[in-house]
Amino acid sequence: MADLGARPTWRRYAARNRNIAFGAAILTVVILAALLAGVISTHDPRRLNPAQRLKAPSAANFLGTDEFGRDVYSLVLHGAQVSLLVGATTMILTSLWGIVIGLIAGYYRRVDMALMRVMDGLMAFPAILLAIALMAARGPGVGNVIFALSVVYTPRTAMLIRSTVLSLRELDYVQAARALGRRDLSIAFRHILPNCVGPLLVQASFIFAYAILAEAILGFLGVGVPPYVPSWGNVIASGKNVIREAFWVSLFPGLALTVSGLSLNLLGDGLRDVLDPRLRVQ
């Protein structure tokens, strides 16, 4: 009953929240740019053209060209595809794994101890270093980046779901459902999970932002997606070598990265404000 009453309210708040509106608008533009990259890009991003190397931004190349003569504008657009693919998939996988692990840990006290120690252990690594180490073992590739980032960020979601479950399981209506003979799985899906949706949404939008950034960092370090794949991190890395002659090569993919991160942070902040009733009153 509680969530049925709350749902229209937070949606109304969400529609009025400026952070959410800005964040969603920017994110929509980034998603559209990625989806339409094949149509709106002016060059083939993989085509090497040494005769046109390191050209400044012009009418022919809106954002200039890199050291191999590739068009930076087309690279940025196609790079958005890789970033969003990695970000969204990591977000979905961490949410799914986080729900499963968090529910089990929150519900079954016997495995809770063991599962949480494993999560603590995984969170003891600096995130980017664990991702680098996992990439070292698995080798470059989009799938491996998604795997590494999912391993790195799942514990945060699992901890969040677990703590939400722990606080909900003692509430009267959950106790009542149990007294009425409902099974654990049914209680989890009908009564507990719907109440985890809010915190999960906030967390997911931040993990989306972290994953996009981490993917770019791995690419920049040369241990992410292979160098021939146009990704923001790879392009910024190639811009590093020519920063003295051609600042634009690293400037524009970095701007795209910043704007995407900004949109997801605004969205996350806005959702948190809307979903946390204590903040709403202020």
Partner 1 sequence: MTAYLIRRLLTLVPVLAVVVTVVFLLIHLIPGDPVSVMLGPDATPAQIQATRQALGLDRPLHEQLFKFYARILRGDLGQSYFLDRPVVTALLERAEPTLVLTFAALLVAVVIGVPSGIIAAAYQGSLWDRALMLTSLLGVCVPGFWLSLNFIYLFAVRLGWLPAAGYASILADPVAALRYMVLPAVSLGFNQSALIARISRSCMLEALQQDYIRTARAKGVSQRSVMWVHAFRNALVPVVTVIGITMAILIGGAVVTEIVFNIPGLGRLIISAVLRRDYPVVQGVILVTATAYVLINLAVDVLYVFIDPRIRYG
**By CB under 8 A, residue 261 contacts partner 1:** yes
Read off the tokens for 15: 């529609």
Which of 48, 54, 201, 262 touches partner 1 by CB under 8 A? 262
Closest CA to 103 of 181, 179, 192: 192
Task: Return the residue of 2, 35, 96, 120 that touches partner 1, per CB under 8 A.
Answer: 120
For the CB of residue 269, give the shortest distance to partner 1 in the complex, in Å. Answer: 8
Stretch that binds partner 1, among 2-10, 70-78, 101-109, 124-132 (CB under 8 A): 124-132
Establish if 108 lies at the interface with partner 1 (CB under 8 A). Answer: no
Which tokens hold the place of 72?
């930076």
Contacting partner 1 (CB under 8 A), which of 122, 171, 177, 197? 122
Residue with tokens 């120690």: 117
**Contact in structure between 30 and 260 (CB atoms under 8 Å):** yes
When the beta carbons of 187 and 246 are compared against partner 1, the nearer one is 246
Please return the burial class of 83, using the count of CB atoms within 10 Å of its CB with bins 0-12, 13-18 and 19+.
Answer: buried
Using CB under 8 A, which residues numbered 139 to 198 contact partner 1? 139
Stretch that binds partner 1, among 46-54, 65-73, 79-87, 112-120 (CB under 8 A): 112-120
**Residue 130 to residue 122: CA distance in whole angstroms:** 8
**DSSP 3-state assignment of 71?**
strand
Asked if residue 128 binds partner 1 (CB under 8 A), the reply is yes
Residue 65's DSSP bridge partners are 71
Half-sphere exposure of 95 (CA within 13 A, CB side): 21
The angle that helices 193-221 and 72-107 make with each other, rounded to 10 degrees, is: 140
Looking at 71-79, 87-95, 183-191, 236-244, which segment touches partner 1 (CB under 8 A)?
236-244
Q: Which stretch binds partner 1 (CB under 8 A): 28-36, 63-71, 101-109, 215-223?
A: 215-223
Query: CB–CB of 65/76 below 8 Å?
Result: no
Residues that bind partner 1 (CB under 8 A): 117-118, 120-122, 124-130, 132-139, 209, 213, 216-217, 220-223, 236, 239-240, 243-244, 247, 250-251, 254, 257-258, 261-262, 265-266
